Structure 1
């Protein structure tokens, strides 16, 4: 303004241009006609200085330079813009990718798909065309996706080229999937399992080959260390002989960590659920993915949930039975104080839980029938009356300040059987989840 005067509506852009030029030339020009500051302005107190000569301008500690532009209009229209210097020598942080990648090829019709696939064979055979990871990333993120599609898996450029050539030759390689996109976008529902499918080497290959998955497991290991005196990462990498994955206090956090890391891995690939549902402990991961729980809350919950349930070890058993809910209630009738219908998993599949002698008694009775039944390989009678004494300790562990948030993804509750707002996932809900 001291150089060109009032510009009315264009006044702000003049200051913005001056600041951009100052950044470009790495110099701050002097203010013309300035001799002495107003005596009522405490320049030193406010750490202000009006440049009276050309001043070199370097970023602090080699970092980018920042500048602000004030445009305070006489009529009350005020604006302030902050600029940051672009440093052209900065490189994006990249994460190494190990193992197979997916090459995505699409076209408008089958003939065009084959023609494009032929071109990609030449590209993947070219040593100077970049890495397999970079090529596949560009194909997935920078190309328009047409209806006729081909997905080709390979760990190297040569593998991908070989698989494409095999498909072009009429073969049906296991690492090639061909299909057509639907007019209606498919929606995914993520289902998070409960305790039971854990095994000593679960997630091992992903830990070794997928950097993002491993990064999330290590993050969860660090977060869990605030509560546990054992290491999640150590437990997930033990040998079969030394594994403690069958113990409830280890199995539940490990399953939770696996599920969260898998979700984050898929999320990074652009795959996000339209809804989530979790069975038993799976609801903890589902609660996090839905947005109702922070990661810190979910880690705290899974630790204390598994810890208090571990205290009920060897107090009972569980039995899977191939009957309806009504049939299960008839089996339990007269034994309600010893056995509960723990879960209704399907129209004709339920789980019973309770005292060991009562479960053995029911199993013996069913042994003389053709009804499917199987004693589960668990040592805690989950979802039975044996969980009742754990209520006070779980609620105390979560604390009075436990406040869930509004969910951003619909969560189907396996406690209530309905879509549940995130705000309802309070401490008492998680006791009912036991």
Structure 2
């Protein structure tokens, strides 16, 4: 497919293939790898097919493309390739926005030079967010363990910048859902909040959460929410259920000593647990003291009706008139996150493709477990980012994964599609 002036030139590259069967796909991959090894440039390989069996290979240099193609042909796993059958899974796609824990040093940096659309959003947010965006992303100063008021606005900024790049290609979600902090980006992408108002919400929310931190902790435990709640009640101190992530995955939070005591007790019983990289206790009584101030500082919000369906993870049956208001954001910070219920609702509406938008996946296991419980056969669950992988590469891998399941790639997408092997090619 030809590139337009609005799309940054490679590298990185995304190569797409299609064939009538897996054997022909493998043959094409071997031939393309050989051509590249002989010095062919990826841009010189141009052919677009629409057969059902598909392969996508993305990498930052020709050597990575060769490796991805060769690994696929040899049946070896690699993040550089993905394959699938164009079965219509991408006819309905949900965008999912995660919360704290997805941050990594250097996230978003590559977007500034690669995507004009993402860079424009990050530039706007640089003026809207108290600590700015551009310098923190350039310097990677936030690192892994920054406080909520510096880390969470940057996560939000990367989320909406990635969404802006996808929308610049003409890709829009059929629904959005957010987990905790991720609801702010979901509200903006849905059209309920302007970028300015969304930046205001994330600024106030993260600042007040930092103020209420007080030595709190959070952890994911592999228990259903009801069992987790009963176990929380048995621990001295304050620890409560903070999120219903999946049927057998629950986030707990409270004071650090009580939360760590619960984790130690469960791990001794063989229950898988993971501490979340945050020194706060959102969705717990620890934030009660800041909720009046949050409502007061956000009192002037005037949200619009969402243009894209927004599945709330706060309210089971939300009043449309109360979505994205100041009181909604107070409930968002205090109530347990109803993520698994929201994903179940999407699954029952026939949504089979789920894209996690953010710097690094934190929702993928919960998505897969919930969809499995709902009996969804072969869903597509994919992330837009991966820790330590520049966004241009991970975003092209995302496009490739969507294409392999049926998405017609936009004409503006930076893609080149190698021609299938012919008998003459095979010599």
TM-score class, shorter-chain normalisation, is 0.5 to 0.7
Match of 1:231 in 2: 132
Alpha-carbon distance change, 94 to 345 in structure 1, aligned in 2, over 3 angstroms: closer
CA distance in 1, matches of 2:148, 2:284: 16
Match of 1:251 in 2: 151
CA distance in 2, matches of 1:164, 1:336: 52
Match of 2:109 in 1: 204
Alignment of 1:327-346 (within 5 A): 327-333=227-233, 338-346=238-246
Q: Which runs of 4+ in 1 moved over 6 A?
A: 107-121, 158-168, 334-337
Q: Is the 8 A contact 1:101 1:153 kept in 2?
A: yes
Q: Please state how far the C-alpha of 1:313 moved relative to its aligned partner.
A: 2.7
CA distance in 2, matches of 1:374, 1:164: 32
Alignment of 1:34-183 (within 5 A): 94=6, 96-106=8-18, 145-153=50-58, 175=80, 177-182=82-87
Q: Give the TM-score normalised by the residue count of structure 1.
A: 0.62
Q: Is the 8 A contact 1:316 1:379 kept in 2?
A: yes
Q: Please state how far the C-alpha of 1:154 moved relative to its aligned partner.
A: 5.8
1:427 equivalent among 316, 326, 330:
326
CA distance in 1, matches of 2:260, 2:28: 63
Gap regions ≥5 residues in structure 2: 334-427
Task: Report the 3-state secondary structure (helix = DSSP H, G, I; strand = E; otherwise coil) of the residue aligned with 1:237.
Answer: helix
CA distance in 1, matches of 2:295, 2:280: 20
The answer as to 2:179 corresponding to 1:271 is no
Q: Which has the higher contact order (CA 8 A, sep 6+)?
A: 2
CA distance in 2, matches of 1:381, 1:206: 31
The aligned length equals: 328
Q: Is the 8 A contact 1:413 1:420 kept in 2?
A: no
Deviations, residues 227-283 of structure 1 (Å, cap 9, x unaligned): x1x22111122246x748521101110110111111122223343322211110000
CA distance in 1, matches of 2:68, 2:280: 51
For the aligned residue pairs, the C-alpha RMSD in angstroms reads 4.2
CA distance in 2, matches of 1:179, 1:330: 42
Match of 2:306 in 1: 407
Structure holding more helix per residue: 2
Q: Is the 8 A contact 2:55 2:83 kept in 1?
A: yes
Task: Report the 3-state secondary structure (helix = DSSP H, G, I; strand = E; otherwise coil) of the residue aligned with 2:315.
Answer: coil
The answer as to 2:99 corresponding to 1:194 is yes
Q: Please state how far the C-alpha of 1:202 moved relative to its aligned partner.
A: 2.0
Q: Give the TM-score normalised by the residue count of structure 2.
A: 0.62
